[in-house]
């Protein structure tokens, strides 16, 4: 418990009131640490509110380290093993929040992601955490005594209108929970990376992840008026492969399979789609040729693809004719093309619409057990600011909870 005779400083200051910062604050607060959380937006947890279409895909019951990208794929193991999806689910259930599994272990609130934010803020309140919103940290210095001195000022970020607090704070532990660069209008900033560099940490190059891909030139023209068409594909880039829906957009391609593969793709890397992943396409085309010799290819393809898409395939890429007219050389060729469909993306939609930021604070300089800096005692990094990025499907929040929890036990 808190010693009332201790001077009125902070034991822990957490910068950033997102998923990882809130979890870290409540965990440290439960240990009796005097925790102050500073958030520069006008409220905490804005990304949680936006997430999962307003229902927050708050975890994935099948989370394993294989669901994360990082220069060091082993880094996430310890924290994930010590704070599991079942731990977070227990908190959700204790707060009476109803939830359901949508697919593939993805858990969503039945009602609203507001319930998750309210739960975390209530747990912070119970743990005695002081939360200052609309407040920016403008400067951080190491003190001679081994802690940190911070200056704060009213903020105008993320919907704030300058109503925050100007103060100088001292703290023994400082937790950087400022997230990534995705969606600047929700409060995202590069402040955590600047702090990391200031204290001698390496920041690995960042780029947008879980993001729609853009097409340009003739590659866009071919798909242009197909916006809204969705199909089930298998997207492949290197060794990564995701079977799920793809959506044609006005600017390019989106949908779960494309968002997932976008985290593995970079300009210059080959990106291939299997447009009929559940079919032996060649056998199926030969069988259709025997069964429907007079049917045109676009009609046959229209049985397995949206009609507009089947028609476009036969306008741009394949010669359309009755099935009986295809030679036994042509149909295997079409089958091969459908199974290895190249996508020449011009880029991504960038941080404006990306769900996550790849790269970030190099985990080499951070303890995987506690998230503590190996260079600066008392400094911690949690959540997305670190070079750990999850797949689509609740994995990023599970990383935020697990890393926040690990630091909250140590800070
Ligand atoms: P997060 O970004 O949540 O929090 C960082 C906080 O720090 C923000 O509140 C920011 O305002 C604050 N901050 C930044 N700089 C600051 C400064 N200088 N001073 C003070 N405060 C500062 N994941 C998932 O698992 N399931 C899902 O359903 C979704 N859905 C989803 C939808 C959308 C639209 C987005 C953009 C993202 C998702 N995600 C997701 C990803 C998930 O939201 C993300 O990985 C976590 O929120 C990361 O948590 P952090 O706490 O690390 O950062």
Residues of the chain falling short of pLDDT 50: 1-8
Radius of gyration of the chain (CA): 25
With a 6 A CB cut-off, is 182 part of the ligand 1 pocket? yes
The residue whose C-alpha atom lies closest to atom 10 belonging to ligand 1 is: 187
With a 6 A CB cut-off, is 50 part of the ligand 1 pocket? yes
C-alpha of residue 157 to centroid of ligand 1, in Å: 14
Q: In this predicted structure, what is the pLDDT of residue 28?
A: 98
3-state secondary structure of 80: helix
C-alpha of residue 211 to centroid of ligand 1, in Å: 15
Where are the domain boundaries for CATH 2.40.30.10 in the chain? 213-348
C-alpha of residue 144 to centroid of ligand 1, in Å: 33
How much is the pTM? 0.96
- Specify the CATH number of the domain 213-348: 2.40.30.10
With a 6 A CB cut-off, is 396 part of the ligand 1 pocket? yes
| 158, 172 contact by CB (below 8 A) | no
Task: Report the atom number in ligand 1 closest to the C-alpha of 59.
Answer: 25
The residue whose C-alpha atom lies closest to atom 4 belonging to ligand 1 is: 18
With a 6 A CB cut-off, is 334 part of the ligand 1 pocket? no
Task: Report the atom number in ligand 1 closest to the C-alpha of 41.
Answer: 11
| 273, 310 contact by CB (below 8 A) | no
C-alpha of residue 330 to centroid of ligand 1, in Å: 50
Angle ∠(169,174,176) on CA atoms, nearest 5: 120
Q: In this predicted structure, what is the pLDDT of residue 120?
A: 98
With a 6 A CB cut-off, is 356 part of the ligand 1 pocket? yes
With a 6 A CB cut-off, is 312 part of the ligand 1 pocket? no
Q: In this predicted structure, what is the pLDDT of residue 3?
A: 46
With a 6 A CB cut-off, is 402 part of the ligand 1 pocket? no
At the top level of CATH, which class does the domain 10-207+358-410 belong to?
A: alpha beta
Nearest to 85 by CA among 396, 407, 408, 411: 396
Task: Report the atom number in ligand 1 closest to the C-alpha of 23.
Answer: 51
| 237, 267 contact by CB (below 8 A) | no
Q: In this predicted structure, what is the pLDDT of residue 6?
A: 46
3-state secondary structure of 157: coil
Where are the domain boundaries for CATH 3.50.50.60 in the chain? 10-207+358-410
DSSP 316: I
With a 6 A CB cut-off, is 164 part of the ligand 1 pocket? no
Q: In this predicted structure, what is the pLDDT of residue 160?
A: 84
Which H helix or E strand runs over 27?
helix 19-30
């Amino acid at each position: 418990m808190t010693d009332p005779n201790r001077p009125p400083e902070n034991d822990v200051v957490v910068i950033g009131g997102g998923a990882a910062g809130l979890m870290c604050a409540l965990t440290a607060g439960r240990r009796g640490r005097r925790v102050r959380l500073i958030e520069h937006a006008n409220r905490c947890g804005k990304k949680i509110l936006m997430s999962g279409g307003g229902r927050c895909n708050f975890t994935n019951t099948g989370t394993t380290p294989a669901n994360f990208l990082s220069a060091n794929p082993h880094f996430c193991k310890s924290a994930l093993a010590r704070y599991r999806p079942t731990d977070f689910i227990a908190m959700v259930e204790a707060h009476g929040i109803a939830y359901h599994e949508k697919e593939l272990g993805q858990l969503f609130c039945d009602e609203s992601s507001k319930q998750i934010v309210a739960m975390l803020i209530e747990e912070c309140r119970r743990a005695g955490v002081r939360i200052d919103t609309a407040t920016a940290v403008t400067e951080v210095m190491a003190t001679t005594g081994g802690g940190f001195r911070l200056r704060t000022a009213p903020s105008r970020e993320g919907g704030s209108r300058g109503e925050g607090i100007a103060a100088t704070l001292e703290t023994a532990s400082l937790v950087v929970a400022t997230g990534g660069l995705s969606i600047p209008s929700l409060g995202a900033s590069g402040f955590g990376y600047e702090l990391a560099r200031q204290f001698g940490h390496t920041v690995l190059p960042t780029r947008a992840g879980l993001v729609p891909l853009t097409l340009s030139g003739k590659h866009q023209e071919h798909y242009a008026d197909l916006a809204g068409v969705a199909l089930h594909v298998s997207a492949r880039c290197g060794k990564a492969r995701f079977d799920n829906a793809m959506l044609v957009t006005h600017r390019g391609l989106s949908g779960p399979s494309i968002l997932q593969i976008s985290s593995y793709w970079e300009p210059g890397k080959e990106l291939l789609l299997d447009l009929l992943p559940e079919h032996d396409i060649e056998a199926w085309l030969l069988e259709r040729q025997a069964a429907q010799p007079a049917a045109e290819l676009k009609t046959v393809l229209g049985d397995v693809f949206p009609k507009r898409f089947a028609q476009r395939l036969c306008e741009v890429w394949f010669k359309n004719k009755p099935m009986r007219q295809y030679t036994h050389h042509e149909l295997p060729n079409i089958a091969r093309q459908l199974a290895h469909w190249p996508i020449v993306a011009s880029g991504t939609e960038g941080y404006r619409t990306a769900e996550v930021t790849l790269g970030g604070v190099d985990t080499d300089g951070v303890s995987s057990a506690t998230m503590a800096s190996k260079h600066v005692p008392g400094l911690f990094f949690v959540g997305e600011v670190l070079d750990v990025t999850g797949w689509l499907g609740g994995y990023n929040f599970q990383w935020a909870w697990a890393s926040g929890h690990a630091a909250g036990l140590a800070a």
